[in-house]
């Protein structure tokens, strides 16, 4: 059995994150020692490693919840897991396209900057007026983000 600190070290996850995962139901509530210390077994460690790896791959907590639910029923078809992974892949591809557009726009801005005064700075000019951009690199939710 591992304490929460040892579990965190083993999985590369901070203690408050482990507590949060327990709170939202991704990890089952830990057993407690006589001194009321959380204790975790091998299954909890494997589940936390699964969550950590899925987070590293960019899956949302809701997708991870669904994947964990699927993994708890190993006899069913993996079509639902495939669908979740395909949706994540599509999101990554979308982000890559946006990042490529951002890179292109930033390169264009930097190349066009004459290195003179701020009054003539192309970087400042383009940042002040999106219509001067060559690509639409905005995030789909940029209007609601702060």
**Per-residue pLDDT reduced to its tens digit, 12-46:** 999 999 999 999 999 998 889 888 889 999 999 99
Tokens of 34: 């006589």
**Per-residue pLDDT reduced to its tens digit, 100-128:** 988 988 888 888 776 777 777 878 887 88
Total domains in the chain come to: 2
Full residue range of the structural domain in which residue 114 is found: 79-132
Handedness of CA 86, 88, 92, 97 (dihedral sign): positive
Pair (48, 102) in one structural domain: no
Cα–Cα dist 90/64, whole Å: 16
- The share of the chain scoring above pLDDT 70, in percent, equals 92
Domain boundary among 48, 71, 94: 71
Pair (65, 87) in one structural domain: no
Pair (85, 116) in one structural domain: yes
pTM of the model: 0.75
Cα–Cα dist 139/36, whole Å: 46
Cα–Cα dist 91/95, whole Å: 6
Pair (17, 66) in one structural domain: yes
Residues in the chain: 146
Cα–Cα dist 22/69, whole Å: 15
């Amino acid at each position: 059995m591992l304490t929460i600190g040892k579990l965190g070290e083993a999985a590369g996850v901070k203690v408050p994150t482990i507590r949060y995962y327990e709170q939202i139901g991704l990890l089952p509530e830990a057993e407690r020692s006589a001194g009321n210390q959380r204790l975790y077994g091998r299954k909890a460690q494997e589940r936390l490693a699964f969550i950590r790896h899925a987070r590293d791959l960019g899956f949302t907590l809701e997708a991870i919840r669904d994947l964990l639910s699927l993994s708890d029923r190993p006899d069913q078809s993996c079509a639902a897991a495939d669908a979740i992974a395909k949706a994540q892949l599509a999101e990554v591809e979308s982000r890559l396209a946006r990042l490529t557009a951002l890179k292109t726009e930033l390169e264009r801005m930097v190349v066009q900057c004459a290195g003179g005064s701020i009054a003539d700075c192309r970087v400042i000019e383009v940042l002040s007026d999106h219509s001067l951009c060559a690509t639409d690199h905005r995030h789909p939710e940029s209007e609601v983000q702060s």
